[in-house]
């Protein structure tokens, strides 16, 4: 697990945007796994700016989002489809038919989950998966005690997650307590994973993910087994790491190796 610690949330966003841009420049028809929530918004803004400057195109890529609320349609203000349209898709040249999310209004949600799994497989798998992390260690909507081998499925949200997301809903508005989400096993099949975390509220979850045992109580800890995962943190999110100086040393050595390659 590569752990990158930068000073600010803005630097986290820049690192992530540069990594996504490099992926698209290397492979324009990449399958990007995308996330919602507050953390990736700044990254999306930077990607939009690169597109507007003519430095980046999304025209050949496909996107597959992690999850969607069960019971919300694409036009609902709090649906994740609407979030992605507002925060990214409406501002870049990605083809609408190449942006994919689970259908929150599917007549048969279980069949929709299998359809989504099949879709990812048909696209050739996710090349780069962007993740955030919940305060309870969830990734996607894989809440604590989720199976570490789980596939796309219907998931009951914990009270903590419902409470954390309540700020996005009006008091008189229906707030779903079920979601369709990629499973941990599905996420682990992405060729690369890029997890972003900012702010002191995420520090405990980050430390448990990186340094704690691999356990269902912290679903993100499964990423310890992923061969190419990069965790990008600001100083606040890294505050609880016990080996912070070691991670910084490793990164410094890696950067020196790239700048000054060995003569052999």
Secondary structure element (H or E) that encloses residue 155, with its range? strand 153-156
Q: Are 179 and 155 in contact (CB under 8 A)?
A: yes
* Known catalytic residue at 142: no
* Known catalytic residue at 29: no
Q: Are 219 and 147 in contact (CB under 8 A)?
A: no
Residue among 142, 143, 165, 234 flagged as catalytic: 143
DSSP 218: B
Q: Are 4 and 231 in contact (CB under 8 A)?
A: yes
Residue among 138, 142, 226, 234 flagged as catalytic: 138
Residue among 62, 65, 67, 127 flagged as catalytic: 67
Segments in 74-154 forming alpha helices (H): 80-87, 109-122
* Known catalytic residue at 76: no
d(C-alpha 248, C-alpha 228), whole Å: 18
Residue among 100, 103, 112, 136 flagged as catalytic: 136
Residue 29 main-chain phi, psi, to 5 deg = -95, 30
Residue of 57, 47, 63 lying closest to 99 (CA atoms): 63
Q: Are 141 and 161 in contact (CB under 8 A)?
A: yes
d(C-alpha 221, C-alpha 227), whole Å: 13
Non-local CB neighbours of 152 within 8 Å, separated by 6+ positions:
102, 113, 114, 116, 117, 120, 180, 181, 182, 183, 186
Catalytic residues: 67, 136, 138, 143
């Amino acid at each position: 697990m590569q752990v990158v610690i930068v000073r600010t949330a803005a630097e986290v966003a820049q690192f992530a945007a540069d990594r996504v841009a490099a992926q698209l420049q290397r492979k324009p028809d990449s399958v990007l796994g995308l996330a919602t929530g507050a953390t990736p918004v700044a990254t999306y803004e930077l990607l939009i700016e690169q597109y507007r400057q003519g430095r980046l195109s999304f025209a050949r890529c496909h996107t597959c989002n992690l999850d969607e609320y069960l019971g919300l349609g694409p036009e609902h203000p709090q649906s994740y489809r609407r979030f992605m349209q507002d925060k990214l898709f409406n501002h870049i040249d990605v083809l609408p038919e190449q942006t994919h999310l689970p259908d929150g209004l599917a007549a048969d949600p279980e069949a929709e989950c299998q359809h989504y799994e099949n879709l990812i497989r048909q696209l050739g798998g996710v090349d780069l998966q962007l993740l955030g992390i919940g305060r309870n260690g969830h990734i996607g909507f894989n809440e604590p005690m989720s199976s570490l081998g789980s596939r796309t499925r219907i998931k009951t949200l914990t009270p903590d997650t419902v409470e954390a997301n309540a700020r996005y809903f009006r008091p008189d508005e229906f707030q779903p307590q079920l979601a369709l989400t990629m499973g941990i096993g599905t996420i682990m099949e992405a060729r690369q994973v890029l997890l972003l975390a900012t702010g002191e509220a995420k520090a405990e979850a980050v430390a448990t993910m990186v340094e704690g045992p691999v356990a269902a109580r912290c679903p993100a800890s499964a990423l310890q087994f992923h061969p190419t995962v990069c965790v990008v943190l600001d100083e606040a999110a890294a505050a609880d790491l016990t080996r912070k100086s070691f991670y910084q040393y490793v990164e410094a050595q890696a950067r020196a190796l790239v700048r000054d390659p060995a003569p052999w």
